[in-house]
Amino acid sequence: MTETLQPGTEDERIGVYVCHCGSNIAGVVDVEAVAGFAAEDLRTRGVVVARDYNFMCSTPGQDLIEKDIREQGLTRVVVAACSPHLHEATFRGACARAGLNPYLFEMASIREHVSWVHTDKAAATAKAQAVVSGAVERVRHHEPLEAIRVPIDAATLVVGGGIAGLQAALEIADAGYTVHLVEREPSLGGHMAQLDKTYPTLDCSACILTPKMASAGGHAHVHLYTWSEVEKVEGYVGNFTVTVRKRARYVNNDLCNGCGVCVEKCPVMVVDEEFEAGLGYRKVIYTPFAQAVPNVPVIDADNCIYFLKGTCKACEKFCDRDAIDFDQQDEVLTLRVGNIVLATGYDMFDARRIPQYGYGRLANVFTNLELERMCNAAGPTGGKVVLRDGKTAPKAVGIVHCVGSRDRNYNNYCSTICCMQSVKLAHLVKERTGAEVYNFYIDMRTAFKDYDEFYQRVLDEGVHFIRGKVAEVSPREEGDLQVQVEDTLIGRQQRIPVDMVVLSAGLEPRRDAKAVGGIFGISCSASGWFIEKHPKLDPISTMTEGVYIAGCAQGPKDIPASVAQGAAAAARVLMRIHQGVLALEPVRASVVEALCSGCRICNGLCPFNAISYDAARQVTAINSALCQGCGTCVAACPAGAIRGSAFSDEQVLAQIEGLLMANVGHPSEEAVTA
Amino acid sequence: MSDRFEPVIIGFTCNWCSYRAADAAGMGRMKYPPNIRLIRLMCSGRIDPTFVLKALAEGADGVLISGCHPGDCHYLEQNYKALRRHRLLQRTLAQLGIEPERVRLTWASAAEGAQLAETMTAFVEEVRALGPLAWPARPRPAAVAELHEAAAEATP
C-alpha cells in the first residue's frame, strides 16, 4: 500500500483512494502509479491524500477514508474502484459517518470501464489516471446536498394474477396493506392453473393453487380487477397514479352469484384456444375453468350472437338475478399506489415456428400444454391421454425437449422448466397408457431439490432417454409418426416409430413485454425479459425505483422460484411501506430567477410537467416534486438560468477538463487568485 | 505502442441505459480500445452542445453520445431532444470546419454491452482515420493573463 500525505495548496483538501479489487483492477491497472499520479500531479488541484488499498469497500478500506476525513480534515473524497452503481452508496455512507456531506464524494469507475475492458497495461493505467483526474476536477465543484424525502403510499399495485403475483399480493395483503391486483384474463391463476400435476412431488396443481386464488379473491385487503389492464402509470416511487381499464364483462360483478345457468343456456360453443390450448370447447359466456376467481363469467363479445346479430339474450333470460348487462361499458379507474410488482408471466413458444416438427401439420403432434390438459381430469378428454381422434390411446410416445430453446434459430436461452416438465409428462403418459415413452434431450438439466431423484425414478419406470436433438418428425403409413434423431451417446442415426409426439415448448417473453415495460418505465433484455437491477444481488428490483418484477416476467423459472420471487418482491414492498419515507437522489433542476429572462424555451421540454411559467413575474418555475432530474431543461437554457444539482454545468465541464488532463500540474484557480 | 495515431474520445452516457451497457461490457469482459473516456449524465437530454465543444477544444479528437433507444428513455422522450441537438450540432461543426463525423450519437440499452463495445471500437477506428483534430491548444491561465495585458496595451 502506498500513501502520500502532504500539506494542501488551497482550501479544498481532497482524498483519492484507488482500489485494487484484488487482481480485478490491480491485474491490469498499475494502481500504485495511479495513486502516485494523484498525489504528485494532482497535488496542485487540491489532493492531499492518495492511497491505494486492496479492497476499498471492505470495512478496513472504509475505515481508511473515515480516519483521513477526521484526521486530515478532508473536504472531498474520490474513490477509484468499481461502477458507482455498485458501491457509490457504500462510500457515501463512509463519508457521512465521518461527518462529511455524502455528496462531496465522487466515484471513478476503473474496473468496469478500464481494467475489465482493456488489456494493454500501460494504456489502461494512463486511462485510469485520466478518469481519476476527471473525478478530482468534478468533485471540486460538488456541493453539499440533502437526499429528497418522499412519503410512500401504503397501497400496492400487483400486475398479474399467476402464482408469482398471487404470492406477492397475499403477503402484502396479509400484512394489512391494500393491494390492487390486476389480471388481464377473466380469472386469477395464470399458467399454473392449466397444469395437471407439478413436479417433482406430483401435487395436483389446482389443489395447491386454488386455495391461494380463493384467499386473494376474498381478502379484505385485496382489490381484484380481472379482465383488466394497466393503461398508464404516472408519478414516481411512493406516489404512482395508475390508470386501469376494466374491460366490459357484460356481467354485473355485484349481482352475479356464479350459479352458471347462463353458461349452461348459452347456445354457442367455440374452441377454447386459451385455457384448453385449443383442445376443448367453451361457451361464449364462460368462466375459464371451474375454480375461477372471481366466479363471474364473461361474455366473449366477438362470438356472441347478440353482439353479432342483435338477438338471442338466452343468458339474460335465464339469469334470475338480472346480472347480465349487454350495455356495460369499459370502466377506467385511477388508483394511487406507492409500489408496483410486475408479475406478467410468459408466453409459450409457438411450436408451429419449427416446421420440421410438424405441429399443426401432423395430427398427432401435440404441445406439452395440450398433453397437460389431456392429463387433467377436468380437461377436454376427462383425463385420458388419447390421439387426435379422441379415443385411441397411444402405444409409443416421443417427447421432444428444448423446442424453441437452446436453439440459435429461435431462442438461445434454456427455458429451465422443460426437462423436468418432460420427465413429469413422461411419467403421466406411462402411468395412464402404459405406452413406450421416448424422451429426446440435448442435456438433462434436473438441478434443484428432489428434481434429480424424480428423474431417476422415471428412468426406473422404464422411460427411454435418448440424447440427441430431433431432426425431423415425419409421417409413416397409417398415420403413424417417426422421429429422426442422432443418438449422440452411441453415435448413430435412429428412426423411432411412435404414434404420438409431444413438443416440450419453451418459455418466451410476453408478446407485448416491451410495450408493457414502456408503461412502467422498465426495459427488456436482449432476449426480451424484464431487466432486473442486478442479475445476482437484486433480481427483483428494476432500474425504476418502486417497480419490482417477479416470476417469469424476469426470466424462465419454475413454480418454487416464482413463489420465492413473488414473496421477495412483497418483502421489498413491505420494507418500503414500513420505512414510510424514501430518500431519493437530490438530482433536480431549479431556476435562478435573477438570470431567467422568461424566454420560455425550456417550457415545452419537460415530459413531467414540472416546468411552468409565472406570467405575472415573467419567470419560469420548476416544481421539484415533479422534476425527475433528467437535466434536459438545464442543457436548453440559453442564459444558464437553470441549475442542475449533482450534474451541474460546472461539474461536467470540469470533469471534461480533468479527463483530458487539461489541468494536470496547473494550480487551481483558487490558488491562482490567492 | 506503435507510432499510429491514438485518438482521445470523450463518451457521454446516460445513467440508465448506456452507462449500464458500459458496465455490462465490463462485467462480460468485452474488450474495446482504451482511447475512450466516459462521463455519466442522468440522460442524453442533459447534453449541452457546450459540453461537446468543450471536449473538442480541450483536446478530444471525437465525442460519442449514447442514450437509451428511442422509445425506451427513462425520462420518456428526452433522448429525442439529444437527437435534435446532435443534428444541429453536426451542422454547426461543419460550419466550423470540423468533420461532423467526429461527434457520433448512438443508442445502447442496459443489455447491450457487446453492441456498445463494438460501436466504441468502430468509432475509435473512424476517428483514428480522420486524424488528430488539432483544435488550437487552450491558453493556460498565465498565458490568458498575458493575452489580456497585451490586448489592454494595444488598445489606444
Lookup: cell for B42: 442522468
Q: Which residues pair with A479 in a beta bridge?
A: none
> Does B19 contact A at CB distance below 8 Å?
yes
- What pTM value is reported for the model? 0.81
- On chain B, the residues whose CB falls within 8 A of the CB of A660 are 8, 10, 55, 58-60
State the Cα–Cα distance between residues A505 and A421, nearest whole angstrom: 10
Per CB-CB distance under 8 Å, the chain A contacts of B43 are: 630-632
Chain B residues inside the 8 Å CB shell of A662: 58-59, 138
Distances (CA, A) of A42 to A14, A45, A672: 10, 5, 15
Residue B80 contacts A where some CB pair is shorter than 8 Å: no
Record: contact A632-B31, CB cut-off 8 A: no
Q: Write down the mean pLDDT value for chain A.
A: 94
| Residues across chain A | 674
A8 pLDDT band, cuts 50/70/90, is very low
**In the predicted model, is pLDDT for residue B140 greater than 70?**
no
Test B45 with A632 for CB contact under 8 angstroms: yes
Domain residues of chain A, as ranges? 14-145, 146-247+330-345+513-583, 261-318, 348-508
At A199, which amino acid appears? Answer: Y
For range A115-123, the mean pLDDT: 96
The ipTM value here is 0.89
Using a CB-CB distance cutoff of 8 angstroms, which residues of chain B are in contact with residue A525?
Answer: 111
Q: Structural domain boundaries of chain B?
A: 9-154
Shortest Cα distance from A656 to chain B (angstroms)? 6
| Dihedral-angle region of residue A218 (phi above 0 means left; psi in -120 to 50 means alpha; beta otherwise) | alpha
Distance from A622 to chain B by nearest Cα, in Å? 16
Size of chain B in residues? 156
User: What confidence category does residue B147 fall into, taking pLDDT thresholds of 50, 70 and 90?
Assistant: low
**A656·B39 Cβ contact <8 A:** yes
In terms of pLDDT, which residue wins out, A586 or A674? Answer: A586
pLDDT over 70 at A475, yes or no = yes
Compute the distance between CA of residue A219 and CA of residue A221 in angstroms, rounded to an integer.
5
CA distance A587 to B14: 14
- Joined grid coordinates for residue A371: 398433453
**Record: contact A629-B42, CB cut-off 8 A:** yes
B63 by DSSP, 3-state: which?
A: strand
Evaluate the omega torsion of the peptide bond into residue A7 and state whether it is cis, within 30 degrees of 0.
no
Residues of chain B numbered 86-105 and touching chain A (CB < 8 Å): none
Does residue A142 contact residue A95 with C-beta atoms inside 8 Å?
no
Band (pLDDT 50/70/90 cuts) for residue A6 is low
A14-145 adopts what CATH topology?
Answer: Rossmann fold (3.40.50)
CB B61 within 8 A of CB B11: no
Indicate the residue of B30, B45, B117 with minimum beta-carbon distance to A630.
B45
pLDDT digit string, tens, across residues A516-527: 998 998 888 889
Q: Are A632 and B75 within 8 A, CB to CB?
A: yes
Q: B2, B46, B64: which to substitute to probe chain A, counting the most A Cβ within 10 Å?
A: B46
A115 contact partners, CB below 8 Å, separation of at least 6: A21, A24, A25, A26, A27, A28, A29, A124, A128
Question: With an 8 Å Cβ cutoff, is B118 touching chain A?
Answer: no
Of these ranges, A365-379, A523-537, A596-610, the one predicted with the greatest mean pLDDT is: A365-379
For the segment A614-624, the average pLDDT, to the nearest whole number, is 93
Instruction: Please count the helices (runs of H) and the strands (runs of E) in chain A.
Output: 18, 35
**CA–CA distance, A343 with A551 (Å, rounded to integer):** 6
Q: Between B22, B43, B140, which is nearest A630 by CB?
A: B43
Give the distance from CA A545 to its chain's centroid: 12
Q: Do A116 and B55 touch (CB under 8 A)?
A: no
Which is higher by pLDDT, A608 or A674? A608
**A200 preceded by a cis bond (ω within 30 of 0):** yes
Domains A146-247+330-345+513-583 and A348-508 share a fold: yes
Distance CA B133, CA B46 (A): 25
Residues in contact with B87: Cβ distance below 8 Å, sequence separation at least 6, in sequence order: none
Measured distance CA(B80)–CA(A156) in Å, rounded: 32
**Residue B137 scores a pLDDT above 70:** no
Best mutation target among A44, A113, A118 (most B Cβ atoms within 10 Å) is A113
A253-284 burial, b if ≥16 CB within 10 A, otherwise e? eeebeeebebbeebebeeebeebbbbbbebbb
- Largest Cα separation within chain B, whole Å, is 64
Q: Considering only the beta carbons, identify the residue of A607, A630, A649 that sits closest to B48.
A: A649
Confidence of residue A582 (pLDDT cuts 50, 70, 90): confident
Give the C-alpha distances (Å, rounded to integers) separating A674 from A39, A44, A45, A434, A669: 22, 13, 14, 94, 8
Cα A539 from Cα A552, distance rounded (Å): 12
d(CA A584, CA A217): 35
CB-CB under 8 Å, A629 with B10: no
Helix (H) or strand (E) holding A79: strand A76-81
* A485-509 CB burial, b ≥16 within 10 A, e <16: bbeeeeeeeeebebbbbbbbbbbbb
Mutate to test the interface with A, among B2, B6, B8, B42 (most CBs of A within 10 A): B42
For A324, which DSSP code? Answer: B
pLDDT at A633: 96
Residues A57-115 have pLDDT tens digits of 999 999 999 999 999 999 999 999 999 999 999 999 999 999 999 999 999 999 999 99
On the question of pLDDT at B143 being above 80, the answer is: no
pLDDT of the residue at A543? 83
Chain B's closest residue to A589, CA to CA, is B46
What's the pLDDT tens digit per position in A13-26?
999 999 999 999 99
Which one of B20, B31, B36, B48 would you mutate to disrupt binding with A, by most A Cβ within 10 Å of its Cβ? B48
Domain A348-508 sits in CATH at 3.50.50.60
Share of chain A above pLDDT 70, in %: 97
Q: Who contacts B4 (Cβ-Cβ below 8 Å, separation ≥6)?
A: B128
Q: Does B57 lie at the interface with A, CB-CB under 8 angstroms?
A: no
Question: What is the structure's pLDDT at B142?
Answer: 63
Residue A455 scores a pLDDT above 70: yes
B80: closest CA among B126, B27, B43? B43
> For every residue of A461-526, which 3-state class applies, written as one string?
CCCEEEECCEEEEEECHHHCEEEEEEECCCCEEEEEEECEEEEEECEEECCCHHHHHHHHCCCECC
Tell me the three cell numbers of residue A595: 438570470
If one counts every other C-beta atom within 10 angstroms of the C-beta of residue B80, the result is 17
**Mean pLDDT value across residues A166-174:** 98
Residue A672: per-residue pLDDT = 43
CB contact under 8 A, A635 and B117: no
pLDDT tens-digit readout, B5-60: 999 999 999 999 999 999 999 999 999 999 999 999 999 999 999 999 999 999 99
The arrangement of secondary structure in B9-154, i.e. its CATH architecture, is: 3-Layer(aba) Sandwich (3.40)
Q: What is the mean pLDDT of residues A40-46?
A: 94
Name the residue in chain A with its Cα closest to that of B43. Answer: A630
**Residue A24 Cα distances to A27, A337, B26, angstroms:** 6, 42, 11
Whether the CB-CB separation of A356 and A365 falls below 8 Å is answered with no
Minimal Cβ distance to B110: which of A116, A124, A523: A523
Using pLDDT thresholds of 50, 70 and 90, give the confidence band for residue A166.
very high
Determine what percent of chain A falls in helix, strand and coil, rounding each to the nearest 5.
Answer: 30, 25, 45
Question: How is residue A95 written as a grid cell?
Answer: 463519508
Task: List the one residue out of A655, A545, A649, A522 whose CA is nearest residue A589.
Answer: A649
Supply the pLDDT for residue A9.
44
Q: Is A656–B74 a contact, with Cβ atoms under 8 angstroms apart? A: no
Class at the top of the CATH hierarchy for domain A146-247+330-345+513-583:
alpha beta
Strand-pair partners of A492 = A487
Residue A483 CB partners (closer than 8 Å, separation 6+): A398, A400, A438, A440, A470, A472, A473, A494, A495, A496, A498, A501
Q: Which of A119, A524, A669 lies nearest to residue B31, judging by beta carbons?
A: A119
A279 touches A382 (CB < 8 A): no
Share of chain A above pLDDT 90, in %: 90
A584: pLDDT confidence band, cut at 50, 70 and 90?
Answer: confident
In terms of C-beta density within 10 A (0-12 exposed, 13-18 middle, 19 or more buried), how is residue A115 classed? buried
**Residue A674 banded pLDDT, cuts 50, 70, 90:** very low
Q: Give the closest-approach CA distance of B31 to chain A in angstroms.
A: 4
**A and B: number of Cβ contacts within 8 A:** 146
Query: Using a CB-CB distance cutoff of 8 angstroms, which residues of chain A are in contact with residue B52?
Result: none
Q: What is the mean pLDDT of residues A164-174?
A: 98
What does R_g of chain B's alpha carbons equal in angstroms?
18
C-alpha distance from A112 to closest chain B C-alpha (Å): 4
